[in-house]
Chain A
Amino acid sequence: MAILVDRDTYVVVQGVTGRQGAFHTRAMLKYGTKVLAGVTPGKGGQNVEGVPVYDSVAEAVENHPQINTSLVMVPAPHAGDAVLEALNSNIKLVVVITEHVPVHDAMKFINYAMLRNSHIIGPNCPGVITPEAAKVGIMPGHIFKRGKVGIVSRSGTLTYEIAYQITVNGLGQSTCVGIGGDPVVGLNFIDVLEMFRRDDETEAVVLIGEIGGDLEERAAEYIVRTRYPKPVVGYIAGRTAPPEKRMGHAGAIISLGAGDPASKIKALNEAGVAVASTPKEVASKLVSILK
């Protein structure tokens, strides 16, 4: 099964004619993802890697009614409008890769998506991958192998590191979801944990958090409240980060006494999550749990 994306995922890439858009369209096609169309306003009629380009999402959907997912790689000033456009075409999953999207734009499109029963992943995320089925994002596909561990993470490259450790330990992943490094993101840990709960293929979940905000504490509370039925292994990045400094991600900041790693680790430990102190240890904990 897996969650969010699978063999029945049909993708439109918004911002397809940009350098990054074209590069990742090629990589997704190579991985086997069904990219049916691209959109760049004013560039309709062209094609990128054999994928037809349209001026609007509405035209793309009209010509390819199977489209159910959008990957947004539009520059930040226009990303908010691009997401609203996808939602207005009734696309049910919108993955926003773009970094530096204004937070007021993100709040609007995330709230609009909720009203329209669509899901937003991101902004500022690596995307989502169900190994050997579909990759909707920018992650290096070869690191992932189909298996029984679900991953949900606020990070990009750190997720690849941990996925790699899981792969070389022979476990593999059901689906990996990068929820994004911004303060306000669409799907959060709880939403994705809930999806993994209902997914038969996922036998354990890895939760990769970092400093800033309280999404990890909220996830811990959810795990306790719902008596989460699957084992969860956690990792928190930024144990050595100083307060009041943004560590790369807009959301990664210990501020006004909130968002410090100790509180997250404590909350997760108390919720029965096995918190690892290195990426390698995430894999070894999984091996001992799932053996």
Chain B
Amino acid sequence: MVIPEVSVKLYEYEGRELFKRYGIPVNDYVVVRNVEEARKAADVLGGRTVVKAQVLVAGRGKAGGVKVAENGDEAAELAAKMLGSVLKGEKVESVLVTSYTEIESELYLGVIVDRFKRSPVVIASAEGGVEIEELARTSPRHVLKMEINPLIGLADHQVRRVLSFMKLSGDIAAQAGKILRGLYRLFVENDCELAEINPLAVTPDRKLVAVDAKIIIDENAVFRRPEFRRPESGSGLEAEAARLGFTAVELDGDIGIIGNGAGLTMATMDMVKLKGGSPANFLDVGGGAAEDVVDKAARLLLTHPKVKVLFVNILGGITRCDEVARGIVSAYRSVGGGKKIVVRMMGTNEEEGKRILLENGILPFDSMEEAAERAAALAR
């Protein structure tokens, strides 16, 4: 069974709440959803403030989603512009009003899941405020990457190593050590894939304060972190597929793709492209898909306006070709009008599946390559 994937990137304000819970100091902030609240928040915070659009896409600052306001009126004006606007494809539903922090220098602290090391890795730099991936590429010596054994956790000597790498000493080092320990604990206790403070600001009075928060929770752990569950509320092919229990990704072309298994479905897209066609989507029905599952997937694509041709590629292992064929036929009969369909199937109960297709006027293919060629030709 494919479980619909939940988006669990956290908004900055959610990240800040977590930071506070783990003893990581943040500058003062208020989350607001309308203009009046923004004015009030800026007045309460007093003086200069920063208004920040709450979106999950990267590159918010460059896209105009972070602005400085001198007073309550300006904050209200900025909030009015941001709220309801679309920033890099994402609608702004709320904004954060934060106090303006004087920054002397900027540090970076993060913890990520490292695929190759199969362990958490602490990332630290004394040159925060920039994209850490970029900095790691251009000045790798300025970025520390330190593996943490997940069975042991962050050890004291590892904390000391981070502090000395960042050339911190005295009271600032003590603050940073406490923040790093809090961040690692947050990372583990909330099933994070990423927990990042960038920048971690050093203020003129030598205090460390987090002025942004980026946290991504492991989708597969949401069952035990229900507070991070997000209702699937989007529209379009991907959201509809998720509601039906499939993983789908929308693409630009006109050939709808259904496959079983992520690798084979990607390979099917690639083959269609190689043969001169253009895939409209990626849709994986998963292992062991029964008739009704295939029927739903086929209906979803056959009724989608951009799909001219539907290409189904099934390699039967635990999936039975006869079940797949019945699902395809049922969908095609009721909603297939005018659209073309190409099916390639191989494996478990292949003969029965092909017989069902042939009886209903669909010519099955043996070869993935020939089927992809046919789909591309039909779409032209």
Interface residues of A (CB under 8 A from B): 20, 23, 76-77, 100-104, 106-108, 110-112, 115, 138-140, 143, 153-161, 164, 181, 183-186, 188, 208, 210-211, 213-215, 218, 235, 237-242, 245-252, 256-258, 277-280
**A64–B55 CA distance with the chains assembled, in angstroms:** 56
Shortest B183–chain A CB gap in Å is: 15
Question: Looking across the interface, which residue of chain B has its beta carbon closest to that of A252?
Answer: B262
User: How far does the Cβ of A218 sit from chain B's closest Cβ, in whole Å?
Assistant: 6
Residue B220 interfacial (CB < 8 Å)? yes
Q: CB-nearest residue of chain B relative to A178?
A: B263
A77 surroundings in chain B (CB, below 8 A): 223-224
Please indicate which of the listed interface residues A106, A139, A214, A240 has the most CB atoms of chain B within 10 Å of its own CB: A240
**Residues on the B chain within 8 Å of A188, using CB:** 116
Chain B residues closer than 8 Å to A20, beta-carbon distance = 288
B172 interface contact, C-beta 8 A: no
On chain A, the residues within 8 Å of B224 by CB distance are 77, 102
One digit per residue, 1 when the CB lies within 8 angstroms of any chain A CB and 0 when it does not, for chain B 20-41 equals 0000000000000000000000
List the A side residues contacting B116 at CB < 8 Å: 188, 213-215, 218
In angstroms, Cα B287 to Cα A258, docked, is 28
Q: When the two chains form their complex, are residues B282 and A158 in contact, meaning their CB atoms are under 8 A apart?
A: no
Report the minimum CB–CB distance from B126 to chain A (whole Å).
Answer: 21
Closest beta carbon of chain A to B84's beta carbon, Å: 24
Q: Does B18 sit within 8 A of A, measured CB to CB? A: no
Chain B count of residues within 8 A CB distance of the other chain: 54
For residue B191, which residues in chain A have a CB less than 8 angstroms away from its CB? Answer: 102-104
Q: Does B80 contact A (CB under 8 A)?
A: no
Q: Which residues of A contact B346 (CB under 8 A)?
A: 164
Q: Is the CB of B261 within 8 A of A240?
A: no
Binds A, one of B63-71, B99-107, B311-319: B311-319
Does any Cβ of A come within 8 Å of B219's Cβ? yes
Which residues from chain A contact B271 at a C-beta distance below 8 Å?
278
Give Cα distance in the complex from A105 to B120, angstroms. 12
Q: Report Cα–Cα, A241/B251, bound state, in Å.
A: 8
B113, B284, B318: the one contacting A103 at CB < 8 Å is: B113
Given A238-B270, A240-B269, 9 more A-B residue pairs with CB atoms under 8 Å apart are A104-B113, A107-B118, A138-B318, A153-B263, A156-B262, A160-B317, A181-B263, A237-B264, A240-B270
| Chain A hits for B261, CB < 8 A | 155-158, 248
Separation of A214 and B114 alpha carbons in the complex (Å): 10
Interface pair B151/A237, CB less than 8 Å apart: no
Q: Which residues of A contact B150 (CB under 8 A)?
A: 104, 107-108, 111
Question: In the complex the two chains form, is A157's CB within 8 Å of B315's CB?
Answer: yes
Contact A161–B219 (Cβ < 8 Å):
no
List 25 A-B pairs, Cβ < 8 Å: A77-B223, A103-B218, A112-B151, A140-B317, A140-B347, A156-B264, A157-B261, A157-B264, A157-B287, A158-B264, A158-B267, A161-B264, A164-B315, A181-B262, A184-B113, A211-B266, A214-B115, A247-B247, A247-B249, A247-B282, A248-B266, A249-B262, A278-B368, A279-B368, A280-B368
Chain A CB within 10 Å — which of B191, B263, B368 has the most?
B263
Is B221 part of the binding interface, using a Cβ–Cβ cutoff of 8 Å? yes
> Across the interface, which residues of B come within 8 angstroms of A210, CB to CB?
262-263, 266
Q: Name the residue in B149, B270, B347 with the highest tally of chain A Cβ atoms < 10 Å from its Cβ.
A: B270
Number of A-B contacts (CB under 8 A): 174
Complex contact A241–B282 (CB within 8 A): yes
Q: Which of B151, B259, B318 is most buried by chain A, counting CB atoms within 10 A of its CB?
A: B318
| Complex interface: chain B residues within 8 A of A23 (CB) | 318
Residue numbers in A under 8 Å from B368 (CB-CB) = 161, 278-280
Report the bound CA distance from A101 to B221 in whole Å. 8
Given contacts A140-B348, A256-B133, whether A251 and B115 have CB atoms under 8 Å apart is yes
A66 to B135, CA, bound (A): 53
1/0 per residue, CB under 8 A from A, across B330-343: the answer is 00000000000000
Which residues on B sit within 8 Å (CB–CB) of A235?
A: 267
In the A-B complex, the 3 residue pairs with the smallest Cβ-Cβ separation, listed nearest first, are: A155-B263, A248-B262, A157-B261
Counting CB contacts under 8 A, is B188 at the interface? yes
Contact A208 B317 (CB under 8 A): no
Chain A nearest CB, measured from B261 CB (Å): 3
Within 8 A of A (CB), among B250-276: 251, 259-267, 269-274
Contacts A161-B368, A214-B115, A278-B369 known; A240 to B264 CB distance under 8 Å?
no
Evaluate whether A237 and B218 lie within 8 angstroms (CB atoms) in the complex, with A111-B118, A183-B113, A213-B116 already known.
Answer: no
Residue of B nearest to A19 (CB): B288
- In the assembled complex, which residues on chain B have CB atoms less than 8 Å from the CB atom of A159? 263
In residues 122-157 of chain B, which contact A (Cβ within 8 Å)?
A: 133, 149-151
Are the CB atoms of A107 and B316 closer together than 8 Å? no
CB distance from A115 to the nearest CB of B (A): 8
A237 touches B267 (CB 8 A): yes
B245 at the interface (CB under 8 A from A): no
Partner of A242 from the list B223, B251, B265, B347 (CB cut-off 8 Å) is B251
Given known A-B contacts A157-B263, A247-B266, A102 and B220 have beta carbons under 8 A apart? yes
- Given A242-B249, A248-B265, A248-B266, answer yes or no on A278-B220 (Cβ-Cβ < 8 Å): no
Give the distance to chain B from A242, nearest Cβ to Cβ, in Å: 7
Contact call A101/B220, Cβ cutoff below 8 A = yes
A101 to B367, CA, bound (A): 34
